[in-house]
Structure formats: C-alpha cells, structure tokens
Amino acid sequence: MNGHQLFSFEKGVPLKQHIGVDYYLYIKAFHLIFVITYFAGLFYMPRLMVYLVEASDRPQAESDIIIPQLQLMMRRLWQIITVPSAILGLIFGLYMLWINPFLLGKSWMLIKLVFVGLLFLYHIKTYRFYKAFLQGNCQLSARFFRIWNEGATLILFAVIFLAILKDSIHWIFGLLGLFGLAFLLLLGIRLYKHNRNKNG
C-alpha cells in the first residue's frame, strides 16, 4: 500500500490530505502497544491487591515483610507502567482521531468511546484503591478484588470486538456474549474460592 495514498484500509475512511497511510499505521501500532501495556498494568494491579489482603491475614512476622514489598511493587507498576502507558495510549489514540476525524461519524467508534469512558472511571476507582492500600486503610475483601479484576477484562473484550467487527457487529449477540463472559468469569471466581476452601 502506497504511503501517499489518501485513504485508509479501514473501509475507505479518508485521511487528512498531508498524511500518508503508512504514517497512520505507525501511529496505530504505537497506540496498540501502549494500550496493551496499560491493560497489563490494570490486570496485575488488582491481583497485587488480592495478595495484600491475603498477606494481612498472615502472622505479623510474615506480613511485616510481605506487605511493604507488595506496596513497592504496586508503586512501580502504577507509576512506571500503568500511568505512562495510559497517557501515551491516549495521546496516540487522539492523534489517530485527528488524522482520521471521519471515524467519529461511525457508530462503532462512538460506542467504543463510551467504553473508553467506562475504562477511565475504572482507572480512577482503581487508583483510589491503590492509594488506600499504600495508606494501609483498605478494608475490602480479596474476593472483591478478584471480581474487580475482571472489570478491565470485560471492557477490553468490548473494545476489541468493536474495533475488529466495526459496523458489521450484531449488537444483540454482542451484548449477550459480553454478559456470558461476565457470567463465566464470576463462575470461575466462585469455583476457585470453593476449591481453595476445600483444599485449605
């Protein structure tokens, strides 16, 4: 595909006149890279919160060693990976929309942006949990954070299906699939808890 073409491969959506397709694809690649690393941080952060809750139930001698180490891991994960990836992913995503503003006229993009808004709210709430753990005053259970951990998974599935299927998506089946995934995730958490109690 010629770098001087003025149309993207995405259903003939025109690019800005001075931007080539190859350049647009590089921007898209960077956007995807930082979105992936951002979700990696969001997936691992609630897992560290589960470990912190469980560590607080250990004997004092063990928890005094484990908790500071987990808090250090949380700070590094949030400050070095999660937040920078979120900022860079957002910058490249907005730049893609600036290059290709016609995408904003697509229904799938508008719905995707709704899920991005939900992701932002999820990010803010996770940050509040993160600060509470660093201050040592989070009282929520490990089971809660296992369920909370799946929130980012559901949003990721929704965003990927929207980005790949675009206008061809059947919304009824898409929503049913999302609810089905949520049910399976909650069932998996319940089975994990049952097996753990049985073996514990």
Q: For 55-73, what is each residue's pLDDT tens digit?
A: 988 898 898 999 999 999 9
- For the cut 90, the answer to whether the pLDDT of residue 168 exceeds it is no
In the DSSP assignment, the letter for residue 103 is: G
Phi, psi of 6 (to 5 degrees): -105, 10
Rounded to an integer, what distance in angstroms lies between the CA atom of residue 85 and that of residue 31? Answer: 9
- Those residues whose C-beta lies under 8 Å from the C-beta of residue 43, and which sit 6 or more positions away, are 149, 152, 153
CA angle in degrees (0–180, nearest 5) for 174-179-151: 105
Highest mean pLDDT among 57-66, 147-156, 168-177: 57-66
Range with the poorest average pLDDT among 37-41, 78-82, 171-175, 182-186: 171-175
Instruction: Provide the mean pLDDT of the chain.
Output: 81
Interval 73-99 mean pLDDT? 95
Residue 7 β-bridge partners:
14
Question: Is residue 17 classed as helix, strand or coil in its secondary structure?
Answer: coil
Rounded to an integer, what distance in angstroms lies between the CA atom of residue 91 and that of residue 75? Answer: 23
Spatial CA neighbour of 161 closest among 151, 171, 148, 152: 171
- For the cut 50, the answer to whether the pLDDT of residue 3 exceeds it is no
Spatial CA neighbour of 178 closest among 194, 162, 199: 162
Rounded to an integer, what distance in angstroms lies between the CA atom of residue 184 and that of residue 180? Answer: 6
pLDDT given at position 6 = 43
Interval 74-95 mean pLDDT? 96
pLDDT given at position 180 = 65
Question: Is residue 1 classed as helix, strand or coil in its secondary structure?
Answer: coil
